[in-house]
Chains A and B, each alone.
Chain A
Amino acid sequence: MTLALIAKIILVVAIFVLTLAVAAYSTYMERKVAAFLQDRLGPDRAGPWGLLQPLADGVKMFTKEEFIPAASEKFLFILGPGLFILTALMTSAVIPWGPALVIAGEVIALQVADIDIGVLYVLGVVSVGVYGIMIGGWASNNKYSLLGAVRASSQMISYELAMGISVITIVMITGSLSLNDIVGQQAQGTWNVLKQPLGFLIFLVCAFAETNRAPFDLPECETELVGGYHTEYSSMKLGLFLFAEYMNMFISSAMIATLYFGGWHFPYMDKLGLGPNTLAFLGFTVFFLKIVFFIFFYMWVRWTLPRFRYDQLMHLGWKVLIPLALFKYVGHGGI
């Protein structure tokens, strides 16, 4: 019992640190990928290959002036980024990070909480995330922030529907809402992306929209809305907003990998004849590589596609993705 408890605490801290580290280095990766896709070199002055750049950015953020507009709602203004980053961190609790470890005869699952409604939990927490943006944007008392916040909320609502429906088909295949079962099922059979290529596409597009990434980054569209919902934010509060966006990206990459790409599973995993602990380590590495690939994919798309117009965004969400997802869902249920 105590061993399991200690392992769980270690796991919680490790995932927390991992999420922060990945988010920090995603900013570095974003700049590098952007630069490389544009035939540039990107940051290379802080440390070897610019590897200390996130640290320098952090120091910069902390030493900037902390500014709270006089006309803003102070409590909510401070609450906004906190809520956003809280929800971004909460989602990682249900993701299975690897096959179970076996230490001293006890099985320790590499998952903070194997709750049987894992998928619902993720969808729920993600939709709370928009409150951070909404509260922050509204409390700024600035028309651009408000517009950004309104855009963010309507975008999230529109795309959550299609996302939810495409996840339901996954749940129908698996017969369980637990993420652990979904991965286990894929480990025995084939990955869901092969069974559900269209569902994967819908989920992917919705994931882009949910994380406010280009081409769906209308809430913070610089050209129209100055900075969108974080126009009035400065110092580390702005940093938290930006940081949380990268965390969301990390978590949604993990979700894509879990739901459609077999989570920690890789082909011929059980034929290698390895011990459970080696397998757990390998599984985690594979899962992490999948996540890094999807983060790269996010960036790759961002630096390729132009931003949607707002009516195009709504058209895609309501008139294309939801009918497609519904059609798939009904078709799958019928069969």
Chain B
Amino acid sequence: MQSLTNRSRVVSKKTMNFWERIYLPAIFGGMWITIKHFFKKKATLRYPEETREFSKVYRGLHVLKRDENGAERCTACGLCAVACPAEAITMVAAERKKDEKGLYREEKYAAIYEINMLRCIFCGLCEEACPKEAIFLTDRITPSNFERENFIYGKDKLVEKIDQRIDVSGRQKHITEKK
């Protein structure tokens, strides 16, 4: 019969000869293989001391960017939340007061902005949806935690600090080059 995949093999039921039946050559062969692995380079990475090298377009922990003047870019339009396939993003919008001009770029801003990192699948659709270049994915990893509540990241963790800006240009450059 014609085989479809060319991967089928005819089972051979040949009886073992003397050397195969005493198994010792096979055992020594196996031990030779394992001892070779003894001296091979180890696959283990000592995690906190060493970190794995990420791809240039790695999608990790999110950041909410500020503009050049230090004002938050997010205008709480909700497009990221709509785009999110895991429904991990929620936000509450608020109107900017007169004296808050330096804090928020647009007249509307996110009073509460939360991403549930246990729901998030790090697909990057929020980043694509954002019209204000406010949310980006970075090469940072979400740290582990004992409590589920601590995985709901609010603005305190998401918005970058004014004096510690987070560089997202590496990933962005590679994405645009690809396009």
Using CB atoms, name the residue of chain A closest to B38: A36
Contact between A305 and B27 (Cβ–Cβ < 8 Å)?
A: yes
Complex Cα–Cα for A305 and B42 (A): 21
Contact between A37 and B44 (Cβ–Cβ < 8 Å)?
A: no
Tell me if B's interface is mostly helix, strand, loop or mixed.
helix
B34 touches which of A35, A40, A303 (Cβ 8 Å): A303
Q: Taking the nearest CB of chain B, how far is it from the CB of A43, in angstroms? A: 11
Q: Which of B41, B42, B46 has the most CB of A within 10 A?
A: B42
Q: Taking the nearest CB of chain A, how far is it from the CB of B33, in angstroms? A: 8
B9 within 8 A of A: no
Q: Taking the nearest CB of chain B, how far is it from the CB of A48, in angstroms? A: 13
Given A39-B40, A305-B27; A300-B34 close (CB under 8 Å)? yes
Q: Taking the nearest CB of chain A, how far is it from the CB of B142, in angstroms? A: 23
Q: How many residues of B contact A (CB 8 A)?
A: 14
Using CB atoms, name the residue of chain A closest to B22: A320
Contact between A41 and B31 (Cβ–Cβ < 8 Å)?
A: no
B43 within 8 A of A: yes
Chain A residues 24 to 51 lying within 8 A of chain B, measured CB to CB, are: 33, 35-41, 44
Complex Cα–Cα for A253 and B38 (A): 21
Contact between A305 and B30 (Cβ–Cβ < 8 Å)?
A: yes
B-chain residues with CB within 8 Å of residue A190 when the two chains form the complex: none
Contact between B31 and A300 (Cβ–Cβ < 8 Å)?
A: yes
Which of under 10, 10 to 19, 20 to 34, or 35 or more describes the interface residues of A?
10 to 19
Complex Cα–Cα for A181 and B42 (A): 46
Contact between A39 and B37 (Cβ–Cβ < 8 Å)?
A: yes
Given A304-B30, A305-B30; A37-B42 close (CB under 8 Å)? no
A40 touches which of B31, B33, B42 (Cβ 8 Å): B42
Contact between B37 and A41 (Cβ–Cβ < 8 Å)?
A: no
Complex Cα–Cα for A300 and B27 (A): 11
Contact between A39 and B42 (Cβ–Cβ < 8 Å)?
A: yes
A-chain residues with CB within 8 Å of residue B37 when the two chains form the complex: 36-39
A-chain residues with CB within 8 Å of residue B46 when the two chains form the complex: 41, 44
Tell me if A's interface is mostly helix, strand, loop or mixed.
loop
Complex Cα–Cα for A41 and B47 (A): 12
Q: Taking the nearest CB of chain B, how far is it from the CB of A47, in angstroms? A: 15
Contact between A304 and B34 (Cβ–Cβ < 8 Å)?
A: yes
A301 touches which of B31, B33, B42 (Cβ 8 Å): B31
Q: Taking the nearest CB of chain A, how far is it from the CB of B27, in angstroms? A: 7
Contact between A41 and B42 (Cβ–Cβ < 8 Å)?
A: yes
Q: Mark A191-202, 1 if CB is under 8 A from B, else 0.
A: 000000000000
Chain B residues 26 to 76 lying within 8 A of chain A, measured CB to CB, are: 27, 30-31, 33-35, 37-38, 40-44, 46
Complex Cα–Cα for A300 and B38 (A): 10
A-chain residues with CB within 8 Å of residue B41 when the two chains form the complex: 39
Complex Cα–Cα for A44 and B44 (A): 11
Using CB atoms, name the residue of chain A closest to B43: A39
List the 8 shortest-distance A-B pairs measured between CB atoms, nearest first.
Answer: A41-B44, A304-B34, A37-B34, A304-B30, A36-B38, A39-B43, A304-B31, A40-B44
Q: A38-B37, A41-B44, A44-B46 are in contact. List 13 more A-B contacts (CB 8 A).
A: A35-B44, A36-B42, A37-B34, A40-B43, A41-B42, A41-B46, A300-B34, A300-B35, A301-B31, A304-B27, A304-B31, A305-B27, A305-B30
Interface set of B (CB-CB < 8 Å, partner A): 27, 30-31, 33-35, 37-38, 40-44, 46
List 11 A–B pairs whose Cβ atoms lie within 8 Å, in order of A's numbering. A36-B38, A37-B35, A37-B37, A39-B37, A39-B40, A39-B44, A40-B43, A41-B46, A300-B31, A300-B35, A304-B33
